Every structure is written in structure tokens, then in C-alpha cells.
């Protein structure tokens, strides 16, 4: 191609582009006219609508609430917020530190495959984007969700003695519970935060059975595949176990 021809070609291209953009603007203008004519018609979903502007975490929170996860789990919906929900399954406080994205996703789609006998229902009906948002949201349940320096309220139920609670508190440290569970401002985050363990809605029997055999309370249990599962404390004396239950139930 000669230099002159090349120049003409570029010129023609420019003209075409200008015409094209003018045509597009004209169309948009026409569209806006037709909208104003039928002002009562519902506005189409636009990417700049408030829903489209949500971050993946905000979307995940909506899916989490909409899917009814809270009818079986306790969780904090935002960093430092109160623990809400019902304690059918394990508390999800800091669960993002125990489970990876892949496990979470597969578990929503088919809980029974990962945890045989699980009572959790499948959420395979969710759209792929909803599943992604849910995974991101639950994965974010980590230390930033835990209230910092939460005060410890010991309210001893009448069925326990202060001595039992004292003993339970000592065992909580000596048995290494504190290594995996936060109470107040101390402890490790490998298991759920127990600062309000007495408010988790667990019965004394549940607590006792869970201490002896954590797997058994969840029907083949949530500890499958957890890197640091809750160990069995079935070698402790019945008195020590009762003392631990007394301490846990007094944490209000």
C-alpha cells in the first residue's frame, strides 16, 4: 500500500468510527425518549443499580441470610457483631480458618459427600455466582469477625457450684482447650469462640457428649477433614467433665 492510500484508509476509518459513535448516541437518545414516554414501565436491571454495586461479601451476606443458614448455625454477620442464629449445627464463628474454599463449595453442593450422614441440606440449587459469594462470605469468618477483648461474664446456673466452675476454668487451660478456643481476649482460633458458650443453646447432655466424642453429636460430625479437630476428652473423670460443662454453661 502506498503512503497516500494508507492515509486515505486511516481517514476513512476515522470517519466510520465518528459516524458509528454518533449513531450509538442517537440510539441511546431514542431509548431514553421511549423510557420517558412510558415512565410507569419497570426500569430494566442496570449494572449500576444498587444490587449491581454490592461487593462479593455483601452479596454473600444476602445469600447467607436468604438461604436460611442461620436456622441451623450461629454466626456473626459482621465483624465484632453479636452471635445470632440457632445451634443445630456447629457454630460458624471463625470457620473460615478451618475450612478452605474448595471444601466449602463442595459442602454446600453435597454435604453428605463430605460428611456422610450430615443433617445439612444441599444448596446445589443456588446459581454459581451465589455459591461463589457464599463461599467468599463464609471464608471471611475469621479473626476479624471476633470482637476484640470481649468481656467474660460468668453467670453460674443454680445447678452448678462455684467450685465446679473454678475447676472447669482451670481444666480449660490445663487440658489445652484454650489453645483452640478464644474466651474473652485469650485463646487460639482453631475452634469456635466460646466467650458466650452458655448462650449457644446447648444442653448439659450435649456438652458432655461433645466433650467425650465430638463426632457423635453431629452424626458423623463436622470434624471430618478439619486440620485441627476437637479431640475426644473421654479419658477425663466424670467429675472433671462435669466441671468443664459447668464452666462452659456459665460463660454468658
Among 214, 243, 250, 251, binds ligand HEC (CB under 6 A): 214
Strands (E), the chain: 74-76, 83-85
State how far the alpha carbon of 249 is from the alpha carbons of 48, 71, 118, 241, in Å: 49, 22, 26, 12
CB-based contacts of 54: which residues, under 8 Å, 6+ apart? 62
In whole angstroms, what is the distance from residue 195 CA to residue 150 CA? Answer: 8
In whole angstroms, what is the distance from residue 186 CA to residue 48 CA? Answer: 44
In the complex, the smallest distance separating the C-beta of residue 73 from ligand HEC, rounded to whole angstroms, is 5
Among 131, 165, 180, 246, binds ligand HEC (CB under 6 A): 180
Nearest one of 252, 197, 190 to 226, comparing CA atoms: 190
Q: Is 88 in the site for ligand HEC (CB under 6 A)?
A: yes
Nearer to ligand HEC, 167 or 214 (CB): 214
Among 165, 182, 197, 246, binds ligand HEC (CB under 6 A): 197
DSSP letters of 124-161?
TTS-HHHHHHHHHHHHT-SGGGSPTTPPP-B---TTS-
Total number of residues shown for the chain = 252
Binding to ligand HEC in span 93-122, by CB under 6 A: 95, 98-99, 104, 108, 111, 115, 118-121
Number of residues counted as binding ligand HEC (CB under 6 A): 56
Nearer to ligand HEC, 53 or 166 (CB): 166
Give contact residues for ligand HEC (rule: CB under 6 A). Answer: 64, 67-69, 71-73, 87-92, 95, 98-99, 104, 108, 111, 115, 118-121, 123, 134, 138, 172, 175-177, 179-181, 190-192, 194, 197, 200, 202, 207, 210-211, 214, 218, 222-223, 226, 228-231, 233, 244, 248
Amino acid at each position: 500500500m502506498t503512503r497516500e492510500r494508507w492515509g486515505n484508509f486511516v481517514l476513512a476509518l476515522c470517519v466510520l468510527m465518528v459516524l458509528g459513535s454518533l449513531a450509538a448516541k442517537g440510539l441511546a437518545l431514542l431509548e431514553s425518549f421511549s423510557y420517558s414516554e412510558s415512565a410507569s414501565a419497570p426500569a430494566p436491571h442496570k449494572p449500576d443499580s444498587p444490587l449491581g454495586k454490592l461487593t462479593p461479601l455483601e452479596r454473600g451476606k444476602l445469600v447467607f441470610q436468604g438461604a436460611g443458614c442461620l436456622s441451623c448455625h450461629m454466626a456473626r454477620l459482621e465483624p465484632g457483631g453479636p452471635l445470632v442464629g440457632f445451634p443445630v449445627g456447629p457454630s460458624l464463628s471463625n470457620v473460615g480458618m478451618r475450612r478452605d474454599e474448595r471444601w466449602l463449595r463442595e459442602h454446600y453442593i453435597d454435604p453428605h459427600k463430605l460428611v456422610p450422614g450430615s443433617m445439612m441440606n444441599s444448596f446445589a440449587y443456588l446459581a454459581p455466582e451465589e455459591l461463589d459469594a457464599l463461599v467468599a462470605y463464609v471464608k471471611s469468618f475469621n479473626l476479624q469477625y471476633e470482637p476484640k477483648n470481649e468481656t467474660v461474664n460468668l453467670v453460674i446456673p443454680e445447678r452448678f457450684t462455684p467450685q465446679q466452675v473454678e475447676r472447669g476454668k482451670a481444666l480449660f487451660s490445663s487440658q489445652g482447650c484454650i489453645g483452640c478456643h478464644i474466651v474473652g481476649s485469650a485463646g487460639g482460633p482453631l475452634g469456635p469462640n466460646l466467650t458466650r458458650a452458655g448462650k449457644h443453646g446447648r444442653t448439659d447432655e450435649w456438652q458432655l457428649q461433645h466433650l467425650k466424642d465430638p463426632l457423635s453429636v453431629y452424626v458423623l460430625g463436622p470434624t471430618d477433614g478439619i486440620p485441627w479437630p476437637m479431640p475426644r476428652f473421654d479419658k477425663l473423670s466424670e467429675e472433671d467433665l462435669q466441671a468443664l460443662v459447668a464452666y462452659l454453661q456459665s460463660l454468658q
